[in-house]
């Protein structure tokens, strides 16, 4: 007779909570069910915000939550029997990790699933800006043939690609930029000496030093209290008027009003923003900002990347209901 799986019980539940305005899972949890198997039932929920959390979600053993769904300390205080909150993605700034730790609830993320996609997206935005693809496209479609942005087109090998945050994605973007011929320099105060030698790029000792050198500033740091509005009026003023800003990390790292004003006033040459503070863009005036390329917080997206992300979070959820060690815990709480 086969022994029952350790920790399995009919009363256990894994809740997958997606964002109702734009469900990233496309209303599908077949990946999660395949990996979790008989360890616990898996149910799918849509929510505009945490106010939509049902008693079933609040009573789940594991909560897998997609982006844009905030879980505050108030909601964490209402969870009953929850062992882990798993953020489907890299960033976990939407979850109050300290409140979860006080309740003994582990918070986990999926830090590695979209490394290639986000780095590729950062480079795509960079090339669209530096090679002026959209202005040239618009001119060609007017049935004209005047290369209006001629003075903006510069040789890549004469340009500096400045990386803010040299983690997994920042490193991947730096290596791609280096392969294209950019001079690459980074700033990351949390990394030890010698990292630049291992990667074969240069290091800026301070953020102002990085900004003054940048022809393209590419942002790859997490959002935290220390990095919120890390790039605001003062920092943008240090950039060259010919510089471009690319953000595929978190919107609120850049102060929205500051960068939109800098673009309108021509104090920087352009920006490629996959993420933006208080996203999405809120008004027609914001959308009409000159020299702005905006994408829909989609840098992480690919068929392969989504499967990898969901597989990882499901694997962590399965371990959680079985009482096994958890991967990628970000708040120091081990499974009990």
Q: Which of 202, 279, 286, 327 is catalytic?
A: 279
27: left (phi over 0), alpha (psi -120 to 50) or beta: left
Alpha helices (H) along 142-200: 168-180, 195-199
* Catalytic pick among 159, 187, 203, 297: 297
Residue 336, in any domain of the structure: no
Range of the domain at 169: 115-294
Residues 126 and 265 in one domain: yes
Q: How high is the pLDDT of residue 4?
A: 37
Q: Residue 151: pLDDT band by 50, 70, 90 thresholds?
A: confident
Summarised one tens digit per residue, pLDDT across range 227-237 is 999 999 999 99
274 and 204 together in one domain: yes
Same domain, 123 and 180: yes
Task: Answer yes or no: are the C-beta atoms of 201 and 173 closer than 8 Å.
Answer: no
State yes or no: pLDDT of 14 exceeds 50.
Answer: yes
Looking at the fold, whether 243 and 306 belong to one and the same domain comes out as no
Residue 10 confidence (pLDDT): 43
- Identify whether 224 is part of a domain: yes
State yes or no: pLDDT of 8 exceeds 70.
no
pLDDT at 7: 41
Do 68 and 137 share a domain, yes or no?
no
Mean pLDDT is lowest, of 134-138, 142-146, 304-308, 319-323, for 142-146
pLDDT at position 147: 80
Position 4 in a domain: no
Write the CA distances from 278 to 68, 86, 156, 255, 312, integer angstroms. 10, 23, 33, 10, 28
SS3 271: strand
Q: Residue 327: what pLDDT?
A: 94
Q: Is 250 a catalytic residue?
A: yes
Residue 5 is assigned to a structural domain of this protein = no
Section 136-158 average pLDDT: 88
For 164, 278, 321, the CA distances from 6, given in Å and listed in that order, are 45, 44, 9
Task: Please give the average per-residue pLDDT across 166-173, as a whole number.
Answer: 96
Pair 92, 228 in one domain: no
pLDDT tier, 320 (very low <50, low <70, confident <90, very high otherwise):
very high
- Assess if residue 155 is contained within a domain: yes
Picking from 3, 14, 16, the residue whose alpha carbon sits closest to that of residue 40 is 14
Please tell me the distance from the alpha carbon of residue 216 to that of residue 120, in angstroms, as a whole number: 15
Structure confidence at residue 146 (pLDDT): 81
Mean pLDDT for the stretch of residues 299-321: 95
R_g over Cα of the chain: 22
Q: What is the mean pLDDT of residues 168-197?
A: 96
Q: What's the mean pLDDT in 246-255?
A: 97
Per-residue pLDDT band for 2 (boundaries 50, 70, 90) equals: very low
Question: Beta strands 202-203 and 216-219: pairing type?
Answer: unpaired
Contact 122, 220 (CB under 8 A): yes
Q: Which two tokens stand for residue 178?
A: 């280096």
Q: Does 151 lie in the same domain as 60?
A: no
> In total, how many domains does the chain have?
2
User: Active site residue: 83, 250, 310, 318, which one?
Assistant: 250
Residues 72 and 50 sit within 8 Å (Cβ to Cβ): yes
For residues 59 and 126, membership in a common domain is answered with: no
**Do 59 and 25 belong together in one domain?**
yes
Mark whether 245 and 157 lie in a shared domain: yes
Give the neighbor-by-neighbor strand order of the sheet with 270-273.
Answer: 202-203, 183-187, 160-164, 216-219, 244-247, 270-273, 292-294
* DSSP H or E stretch at residue 53: none
Q: What is the pLDDT of residues 15-36, one digit of tens each?
A: 999 999 888 888 889 999 999 9
Residue 294 backbone dihedrals phi, psi, to 5 degrees: -120, 135
pLDDT at 27: 82
**Do 109 and 142 share a domain, yes or no?**
no
Residue 138 is assigned to a structural domain of this protein: yes
DSSP for residue 64? E
Q: What is the DSSP letter of 51?
A: G
Mean pLDDT, range 289-294, rounded to an integer: 98
Instruction: Identify whether residues 126 and 245 lie together within a single domain.
Output: yes
The rounded mean pLDDT for the chain is 93
161 has which bridge partners?
Answer: 184, 216
Kindly indicate the confidence band of residue 98, based on its pLDDT and cuts at 50, 70 and 90.
Answer: very high
Q: What is the CATH number of the domain that holds 197?
A: 3.40.50.720
| pLDDT exceeds 80 at position 66 | yes
Q: Is residue 22 part of a domain?
A: yes
* DSSP of 219-238: E-----TTTTTSBSHHHHTT
Query: Is 215 contained in some domain?
Result: yes
- 279 as an active site residue: the answer is yes
Q: pLDDT tens across 274-283, in order?
A: 999 999 999 9
| Percent of the chain surpassing pLDDT 70 | 96
Written as six digits, the tokens of 222 are 């997490």
pLDDT at 335: 56
């Amino acid at each position: 007779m086969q022994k029952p799986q350790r920790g399995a019980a009919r009363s256990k539940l894994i809740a997958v909570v997606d964002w109702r305005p734009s469900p990233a899972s496309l209303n599908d949890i077949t990946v999660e069910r395949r990996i979790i198997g008989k360890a616990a039932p898996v149910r799918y929920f849509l929510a505009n915000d945490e106010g939509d959390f049902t008693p079933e979600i609040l009573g789940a053993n594991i909560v897998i939550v997609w982006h844009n769904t905030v879980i505050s300390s108030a909601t964490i205080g209402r969870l009953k029997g929850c062992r882990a909150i798993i953020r489907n993605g890299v960033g976990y700034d939407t979850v109050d990790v300290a409140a979860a730790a006080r309740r003994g609830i582990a918070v986990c993320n999926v830090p590695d699933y979209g490394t290639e996609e986000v780095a590729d997206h950062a480079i795509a935005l960079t090339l669209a800006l530096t090679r002026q693809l959209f202005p040239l496209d618009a001119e060609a479609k007017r049935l004209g043939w005047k290369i209006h942005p001629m003075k903006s087109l510069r040789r890549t090998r004469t340009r500096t690609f400045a990386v803010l945050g040299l983690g997994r994605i920042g490193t991947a973007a730096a290596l791609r930029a280096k392969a294209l011929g950019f001079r690459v320099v980074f700033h990351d105060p949390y990394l030890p000496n010698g990292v630049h030698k291992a990667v074969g790029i240069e290091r800026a000792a301070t953020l102002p030093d990085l900004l003054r050198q940048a022809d393209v500033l590419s942002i790859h740091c997490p959002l935290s209290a220390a990095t919120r509005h890390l790039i605001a009026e003062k920092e943008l003023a240090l950039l060259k008027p010919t510089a471009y800003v690319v953000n595929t990390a978190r919107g609120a790292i850049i102060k929205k009003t500051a960068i939109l004003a800098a673009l309108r006033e021509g104090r920087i040459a352009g920006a490629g923003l996959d993420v933006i503070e208080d996203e999405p863009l809120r008004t027609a005036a914001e959308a009409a900002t000159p020299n702005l390329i905006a994408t829909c917080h989609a840098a992480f997206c690919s068929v392969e990347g989504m499967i990898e992300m969901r597989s990882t979070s499901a694997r962590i959820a399965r371990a959680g209901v079985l009482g096994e060690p958890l991967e990628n815990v970000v708040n120091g709480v081990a499974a009990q």
